[in-house]
């Protein structure tokens, strides 16, 4: 009985190893789809950068596509993956002459929660 359970365990281990090898072979043979230029640039963005890029695409789709293609080309050539903040990206668009409006809010912490500055000022005006 003891040998029978050991045989089952050995067979289970071998089967698991064969499955793992088959999965590795299948994943290695399947070519991974190449990332688009937009995906490459999106990976480098932080701090509302994705939001800036989306609004830029909505406002200036053709021009934004050209800019994103050039940015991705530079990233591929240099191999460096520097992070780009939303503010830096917005500055780039403005310096090129592409101006668009971003919705911005200022929040302040009050009693452990974040409150819009305009709401806080409104509450203060009502109080006093």
pLDDT value at position 94?
92
Q: What is the DSSP letter of 45?
A: E
pLDDT value at position 128?
66
> pLDDT tens string for the chain (128 positions)?
577 788 888 888 888 998 888 888 776 665 667 888 889 889 888 888 889 999 999 999 999 999 999 999 998 888 777 888 988 999 999 999 988 888 887 888 888 888 888 888 888 888 86
- Per domain, the residue ranges of the chain are 1-32, 37-96
Residues 100, 56 contacting (CB under 8 angstroms): yes
- Model confidence pTM above 0.75: no
From CA 37, how far away is CA 86, in angstroms rounded?
Answer: 17
Helix (H) or strand (E) holding 1: none
């Amino acid at each position: 009985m003891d040998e029978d359970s050991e045989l089952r365990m050995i067979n289970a281990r071998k089967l698991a190893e064969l499955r793992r090898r088959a999965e590795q072979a299948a994943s290695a043979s399947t070519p991974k789809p190449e990332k688009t230029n937009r995906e490459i640039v999106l990976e480098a963005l932080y701090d509302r950068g994705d939001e800036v890029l989306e609004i830029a695409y909505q406002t200036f789709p053709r021009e934004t596509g050209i800019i994103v293609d050039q940015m991705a080309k530079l990233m591929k050539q240099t191999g460096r993956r520097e992070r780009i903040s939303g503010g830096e990206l917005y500055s780039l668009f403005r310096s090129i002459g592409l101006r668009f409006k971003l919705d911005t809010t200022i929040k302040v912490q009050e009693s452990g929660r974040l409150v819009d500055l305009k709401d806080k000022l409104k509450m203060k005006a009502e109080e006093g």
